[in-house]
Amino acid sequence: MNTLKVLIYVESRYKVNRKRMKSAVSLVLSENSVTTPLEVSIAIVGDRKMAKLNKEYRNKEGTTNILSFPLAEGESSRLPDDIVRLGDIIISYPMVIKESAEFEMLVDDRVDELVKHGMLHLLGLHHE
């Protein structure tokens, strides 16, 4: 039995499909045969907040489309309830809008792509 908690925080003015975001998380977990009870948080923020996080954690100027923060770098962050806290995915909604237009795709599709990308990072599967 896979227990999955997806905590979603959205700055009020942004419209996202929470059910699709949770489905994207579930899909990545099933594609990677992850059955451990998990918790992950996703935040949809503006460019100012994203630029601040990008500067603070990556020492890079400006905004970015996604940041992911694994809770455990190499060690498990399993709490007494046996749910593994994977970490946080932060997505810039203004960047999603911009990229959706650039790539000629739906906003929800771009959000799904970024959520899946962030999940792979949280699972330790990094791109080159």
Q: How does residue 77 score in pLDDT terms, banded at 50, 70 and 90?
A: low
Q: How many CB atoms lie within 10 A of CB 79?
A: 10
Residue 2, pLDDT above cutoff 80: no
Structure-token pair, residue 40: 């992950």
**3-state DSSP assignment of residue 69:** strand
Structure-token pair, residue 98: 């911009």
Q: Which amino acid type is present at position 96?
A: V
- Which residue would you say has higher pLDDT here, 85 or 63? 63
Q: How does residue 79 score in pLDDT terms, banded at 50, 70 and 90?
A: low
CA nearest to 28, candidates 103, 96, 118, 111? 118
Please name each of the domains of the chain with its CATH number.
4-122 (3.40.390.30)
Tell me, what's the pLDDT at 20? Answer: 97
Q: Report, as an integer, the average pLDDT of 71-93.
A: 75
Tell me, what's the pLDDT at 1? Answer: 44
Structure-token pair, residue 33: 């045969």
DSSP state of 58: H
The span from the CA of 29 to the CA of 104, in Å, is 27
User: Are the C-beta atoms of residues 57 and 111 closer than 8 Å to each other?
Assistant: no
